[in-house]
Amino acid sequence: METNQNTRDGRNKSLWQQNTETIGEKNVFDPTITYDVLIVGAGITGLTTAFLLQKAGLQCIIAEAHNPGYGTTGGTTAHINTFADTTFAEVESAFSAEAATQFAESIAESVQLIHELVETCHIDCDFAWKKAYVYSQNKKETGELDDIFESAVRVGVEVSETKAVPINLEFQKAIVFDHNAQFHPLKYIRGLQNHFYNLGGVLLENTLIDDIKSVGGTHMASAASVQIKAKKVIYATHIPPGVVNVLHFRNAPYRSYVIAATLEKDQYPDALVYDMQEPYHYFRTHTIDGQKYLVAGGHDHKTGHSDPEQAFTDLINYAKLCYPIKDIFTQWSAQYYVPADGLPYIGQLPGASDGIYTATGFNGNGMILGTVSAMVLSDLILQGESEYENLYDPARIKPVAGFSEIVKEGADVVARFIGDRFGLEKIESVSQLQPDSGEIVEFEGQKLAIYKDSFDQVKALDPVCTHSKCIVHWNNSEKSWDCPCHGARFDTDGKVMTGPAREDLRVVDIQVPSDPYFFL
Ligand code: FES
């Protein structure tokens, strides 16, 4: 079995990528058989689902476009909570009291399932139970905290008021949830992958599924070098890829920023800690190779809508108010999808052939809701039903506050208008561009995505997103082109890193100026 470095959908290395390797492919793919289930994507959702189905006796295959954990699982902060970004009070109000209780129950089951898999499969992933503190700092936040507390009590989640929070800040009120947890996400999914292999499962890396045709209840998935036949397909790709789907308009892409820092004094919180700001900040500690790190996150914003470098600066400044930061060991950002009505979409993919499933809209709770997805999807496939299928039905229509805004954002389509050849000597702003950075330039009313590498070589791309024609934005932190509409992301060569786009950005043929000092 080969081992390789974990890669991620961004230039910055997450804490989890330090000293961890992927385990490569193992069991051999057989193109002549029809697999029971094809799972597209090897993050926590895909690997947990594949493991549960393979363990139940089905023959599964995972097709991963890059390496396991390449997407948000490699960039999460891996909080395992008994509560979620969408509060139980919000679910009560948008859905019903029963829905809120079901939401809480499914989350509690997912926490138990993670723990059970760690124990029974002996997964060495630094799993540890922790208390989770949430605190307010003004009257408005305290009112919201009271709602969180009271609704958590109503749905049966263990929570209590507390007078102490492990943070150097004044607060007005605080609550604490018991039996929350944390782990190392890449070690966890590597453990699942090993057990999936031991059960005979197949995983193909570097296999981007670009088309699925369904005939007579069988699905034929095509990638560049393989064709895979399967009775069922699960898109565990964070957002279903391909042509515009209704779910692309019911989920808004956001980015969250994270630092891993050492402290001057041993004041690392032995807990998960959250404030109530908008967006909120979150903290925890993780030890790697004997070194403790404060893992601090926050300053989330809609993908492609704010300056990522400013977000890091603001996060570091805020973290310094809360803990005695010594050094920033690493910093990174990751993407998540905010669902229009607050709940994830898990089940049959709307508009697709029967037997094609999806799981998306996890908000900032990917570890637990990815695991909830695995529970729901494996039940749907193994038993034909799940106690949570109605709650998470992707076809539900729930027009609640925020929905129209997300739809409007999603429909923010910019018509493309671009020629084929440009003389760069006419695009003056490129000469001002710093090495290893990019920008959208306009030339005679037409747009180009220009990237200048560290050797001053310039690459030009058509900035029109191949998913649904929005204009991509430059992300100077992760060195990527990010689409503000549905969250597709592309590297500096225009290659797809994050769906829903399946096609790369088009390379535009540019005339490089003869003056070698032009870009200096
Ligand atoms: Fe949909 Fe870009 S237009 S992700």
467 Cβ closer than 6 Å to some ligand 1 atom: yes
Q: Is the peptide bond before 500 cis (omega within 30 degrees of 0)?
A: yes
**For the CA of 410, the nearest atom of ligand 1:** 1
Mean pLDDT for the stretch of residues 112-130: 98
Output the CA 112–ligand 1 centroid distance in Å: 36
Output the CA 500–ligand 1 centroid distance in Å: 7
- Torsion of Cα atoms, 44 then 386 then 111 then 345, to 10°: 50
| Residue 286: Cβ-neighbour burial (10 angstroms; 0-12, 13-18, 19+) | buried
SS3 452: strand
Q: How far apart are CA 258 and CA 177, in angstroms?
A: 23
Selected residue with higher pLDDT from 304 and 432: 304
Output the CA 426–ligand 1 centroid distance in Å: 29
- Torsion of Cα atoms, 289 then 292 then 298 then 304, to 10°: -30
Mean pLDDT for the stretch of residues 73-99: 97
Q: How far apart are CA 481 and CA 474, in angstroms?
A: 5
Q: Which of 250, 408, 465 to mutate to test the pocket of ligand 1 (most atoms within 8 A of CB)?
A: 465
DSSP state of 318: H
**For the CA of 488, the nearest atom of ligand 1:** 4
The widest CA-to-CA distance across the chain, in whole angstroms, is: 71
* pLDDT tens-digit map of 306-348: 889 999 999 999 999 999 999 999 999 999 999 999 999 999 9
Q: Print burial letters for 314-328: b (CB count within 10 Å at least 16), e (below 16).
A: bbbebbeebbebeeb
| Residue 502: Cβ-neighbour burial (10 angstroms; 0-12, 13-18, 19+) | middle
Output the CA 483–ligand 1 centroid distance in Å: 6
Output the CA 86–ligand 1 centroid distance in Å: 25
The pLDDT confidence band at residue 414, using thresholds 50, 70 and 90, is very low
Q: How far apart are CA 498 and CA 70, in angstroms?
A: 9
- How many Cβ atoms from other residues are within 10 Å of residue 428's Cβ? 10
Asked if residue 91 lies in contact with residue 103, where contact means CB atoms within 8 angstroms, the answer is: yes
SS3 484: coil
- Sequence ranges of the domains in the chain: 424-520
Asked if residue 332 lies in contact with residue 76, where contact means CB atoms within 8 angstroms, the answer is: no
251: which strand partners? 339
Asked if residue 486 lies in contact with residue 467, where contact means CB atoms within 8 angstroms, the answer is: yes
**For the CA of 487, the nearest atom of ligand 1:** 4
Atom 4 of ligand 1, residue of closest alpha carbon: 486
The pLDDT value given to residue 511: 61
**For the CA of 499, the nearest atom of ligand 1:** 4
468 Cβ closer than 6 Å to some ligand 1 atom: yes
488 Cβ closer than 6 Å to some ligand 1 atom: yes
* pLDDT tens-digit map of 225-259: 899 999 999 999 999 987 778 898 899 999 999 99
The pLDDT value given to residue 293: 98
500 Cβ closer than 6 Å to some ligand 1 atom: yes
Q: Which of 467, 473, 475, 482 to mutate to test the pocket of ligand 1 (most atoms within 8 A of CB)?
A: 467
Output the CA 214–ligand 1 centroid distance in Å: 25
Q: Which of 461, 470, 497 to mutate to test the pocket of ligand 1 (most atoms within 8 A of CB)?
A: 470
The pLDDT value given to residue 153: 98
The pLDDT value given to residue 444: 66
The pLDDT value given to residue 243: 72
Output the CA 244–ligand 1 centroid distance in Å: 8
Mean pLDDT for the stretch of residues 273-287: 96
Return the structure tokens found at 83: 């509560």
465 Cβ closer than 6 Å to some ligand 1 atom: yes
470 Cβ closer than 6 Å to some ligand 1 atom: yes
Q: Which stretch of 51-60, 66-75, 184-193, 509-518 has the lowest confidence by average pLDDT?
A: 509-518
CATH topology of domain 424-520: Rieske Iron-sulfur Protein (2.102.10)
Percent of the chain with pLDDT over 70: 91
Atom 3 of ligand 1, residue of closest alpha carbon: 468
**For the CA of 468, the nearest atom of ligand 1:** 3
Q: Print burial letters for 251-271: b (CB count within 10 Å at least 16), e (below 16).
A: bbbbbbbbbbbebeeeebbeb
501 Cβ closer than 6 Å to some ligand 1 atom: yes
Q: Where are the alpha helices (DSSP H) in 222-363?
A: 308-322
Output the CA 248–ligand 1 centroid distance in Å: 8
Q: How far apart are CA 74 and CA 14, in angstroms?
A: 7
Percent of the chain with pLDDT over 90: 78
260: which strand partners? 295, 330
Question: What is the chain's length?
Answer: 520
Asked if residue 110 lies in contact with residue 44, where contact means CB atoms within 8 angstroms, the answer is: no
Return the structure tokens found at 421: 């050849």
* Contacts for 178 with CB less than 8 Å, ≥ 6 apart: 82, 131, 158, 159, 160
SS3 308: helix
Return the structure tokens found at 403: 């929905």
**For the CA of 244, the nearest atom of ligand 1:** 1
The residue ranges of DSSP E strands in 269-380, in sequence order, are: 272-274, 282-288, 291-302, 325-339, 345-348, 356-360
pTM of the model: 0.87
